[in-house]
Amino acid sequence: MQHTHDTAVSPARRWIGRALLLTAVVLALALTHLVLTATGAHADLVDPADPAAPVDDGISIDIGGGGDGPTSSIVVLLGITLLSVAPSLLLLMTSFTKILVVLSITRNALGLQSVPPNQVLAGIALFLSIFIMGPVLTSINDIAVQPFLAGDLDFAGALDQGSGPLRDFMLAHTRESDIALITRAAEAENPADPQSVPLMTLIPAFLLSELRAAFIIGFVIFLPFLVIDLVISASLMSLGMMMLPPIIISLPFKLLLFVLVDGWSLIVTALIGSYR
């Protein structure tokens, strides 16, 4: 009985195997036909197109610049150079140093170590310096910068013309004794007149005069706050409170005094008036 069942199943298995084989052959032929058709389509040659005529898009690069004025690249280079030396010029040849020293002394006299912060003091000094140096900067722009940009002056001529207003400003606020001191230190001959003082002598002399004036203003500002500190210290000692720091008690009184007398206005007015 088992033999009869195996004999009935074998033809069915052979038929299924042949059907699968035939299906595989048909699929293989179909794939081959598709590949050959695609290859032939891609292998067709395309005729070359005619080259397009050049179009003028109006873009050009002009390095020389032309004209009598300086080229844009020279102006950019000079601008970058000026920005690199601007901090030194700001510190050495303007009122910035004096204003910043006075503001720092005022902060120390009040007993405030970091209020206002250094950035705020520097910002106040910067804008006050721009305000004070406004006429000088305007004169430099009129007689040096604009003629140079227009091509009427070369760089050396613009530098010579631009240094004139700065020289006049520094001479007006420099003591003769400071100029004589720097001249003797350099072992140079005494200048015949103020206009013949070289910049290498005038700049350090101007700085010495500015520091002296700043310390004088700072001393005047410091005195009333020093009196408050002495009174508070004496009062604490008389009360037997020697372990209590006097600055804790004196700070509110100093701030109150500074606000009542409108201290910021007085200081700014004194600083601006010292250059008028």
pLDDT on residue 131: 92
pLDDT-derived band of residue 13, with 50, 70 and 90 as boundaries? low
Geometric angle at alpha carbon 185, from 184 and 191, rounded to 5°: 40
pLDDT on residue 5: 45
pLDDT-derived band of residue 105, with 50, 70 and 90 as boundaries? very high
Residue 132 CA to residue 150 CA, distance in Å, equals 28
pLDDT-derived band of residue 244, with 50, 70 and 90 as boundaries? confident
Q: What count of other Cβ atoms lies within 10 Å of the Cβ of residue 110?
A: 19
Count of helices and strands (H, E) across the chain: 11, 0
Inform me whether the pLDDT recorded for 59 exceeds 60.
no
pLDDT on residue 85: 67
Residues whose CB falls within 8 Å of the CB of residue 163, separated by 6 or more in sequence, listed in order: 199
Q: How much of the chain, in percent, has pLDDT values that exceed 90?
A: 20
Inform me whether the pLDDT recorded for 42 exceeds 50.
no
pLDDT-derived band of residue 156, with 50, 70 and 90 as boundaries? confident
pLDDT-derived band of residue 58, with 50, 70 and 90 as boundaries? low
pLDDT on residue 213: 93
Handedness of CA 110, 113, 117, 123 (dihedral sign): positive
CB 166 within 8 A of CB 189: no
What pTM was computed for the model?
0.67
pLDDT on residue 119: 92
The predicted-structure confidence for 128-149, as pLDDT tens digits, reads as follows 999 998 899 899 888 888 888 8
Average pLDDT over residues 207-217: 93
Inform me whether the pLDDT recorded for 104 exceeds 80.
yes
Average pLDDT over residues 197-203: 86
Look-up of token digits 């084989």? 21
pLDDT-derived band of residue 43, with 50, 70 and 90 as boundaries? very low
Q: What percent helix, strand, coil does the chain show, rounded to 5?
A: 75, 0, 25
CA distances from 261 to 104, 121, 206, 223, 267 (A): 19, 20, 32, 14, 11
Which one is predicted more confidently, 155 or 209? 209
